[in-house]
Amino acid sequence: MKMSFSLDLRYHICRQPIELQVFNSVALELLQLLADPDIEIRDVIETINKDPALSIQILRMANSSAYMGRYKSETIKDSVNRLGAKQITNIAMAASQAALHASSIPIVNDIMQGLWLHSHACAIGCQSLAVSTGHRELGDQAYLAGLLHDIGKLYLLKAVEQISLNRETRFELDRETVLDVFSDMHVEQGFRIMYHWDIPPLYSSIVANHHADSFDPHDTLLAIVRLVNFNSIGYELNTYPRFIQPHDVVPEISALYANDAILEQLESDMRGSCN
């Protein structure tokens, strides 16, 4: 029988373990390392090397057209020395997130792929917007904030996947059901995930407030994420925009002094992230 969103499904989702894998453990360790102002390059390299598969993905991304520059990195040490600990951590998080957006259930896998394209485009867009609006110092933080703002959706997809695989619950998945789940629960569950994994409050606040009715115009990072996330709909980089809030981003544009040229560059960079 076709399932519609219900209190019953919400109940089953809330019963899922919070430890569902939405972060790679090594990428998380790198993120937490960055909280230490005395972080050393060798600590970053040793942490990355704990996960050989992730190391390969980091090297691959570091040598992509978006990051390579004039020289190709042959080792993780080369990449860290060339790009710095913050950017390498962003790449590690992006590489690991890409791998986690996959499911054995076709409908869930399809939605996960769309979610990944959206999250990656938002990461690129947030970094681009930070730089173009005169906030280059926020570039690395903006990238990660854009990448993680919808982490609640990934958790919900993982939870729905587990429920679907459980024969006792007998829920039949369809797109409308998942869209309803996203709309109703992704902010709440996203903040819960960020708190559980002790993600820095800077990013937890983004997850909690990127759909809020209003925002503090002095919170530049939040303004960046809200504007990029909203514009992703117009760029056709948000496949499932059921939950559209705020209804416009005029305050965000004003707070960032984002003119037409800046918005055109944002669109170009976000569309280019899919290539």
Task: Please report whether residue 247 resides in a domain.
Answer: yes
Task: Please report whether residue 177 resides in a domain.
Answer: yes
Task: Please report whether residue 235 resides in a domain.
Answer: yes
Q: Is 107 a residue whose pLDDT tops 80?
A: yes
Task: Please report whether residue 95 resides in a domain.
Answer: yes
* Averaged pLDDT for residues 189-198: 93
Q: What is the CATH classification number for the domain harbouring 64?
A: 1.10.3210.10
Task: Please report whether residue 162 resides in a domain.
Answer: yes
Please state, in angstroms and rounded to a whole number, the distance separating the CA atoms of residues 120 and 97: 9
Q: Is 182 a residue whose pLDDT tops 70?
A: yes
Range of the domain at 160: 7-272
Task: Please report whether residue 2 resides in a domain.
Answer: no
Q: Is 7 a residue whose pLDDT tops 60?
A: yes
Structural contact between residues 217 and 182, judged by C-beta atoms closer than 8 angstroms: no
* Averaged pLDDT for residues 64-76: 75
Please state, in angstroms and rounded to a whole number, the distance separating the CA atoms of residues 84 and 78: 10
Task: Please report whether residue 231 resides in a domain.
Answer: yes
Task: Please report whether residue 190 resides in a domain.
Answer: yes
Which pLDDT score is estimated for 4?
Answer: 47
User: Which of residues 48 and 164 earns the better pLDDT score?
Assistant: 48
Please state, in angstroms and rounded to a whole number, the distance separating the CA atoms of residues 9 and 15: 10
Please state, in angstroms and rounded to a whole number, the distance separating the CA atoms of residues 251 and 157: 32
Q: What are the φ and ψ backbone dihedral angles of 13, each rounded to 5 degrees?
A: -65, -45
What value does the CA radius of gyration of the chain take, rounded to a whole number of Å? 19
Structural contact between residues 266 and 132, judged by C-beta atoms closer than 8 angstroms: yes
Q: Is 205 a residue whose pLDDT tops 70?
A: yes
Please state, in angstroms and rounded to a whole number, the distance separating the CA atoms of residues 15 and 104: 21
Work out whether the CA dihedral 22, 28, 31, 35 comes out positive or negative: positive
* Averaged pLDDT for residues 42-48: 91
Q: Look at the chain and report how many structural domains it folds into.
A: 1
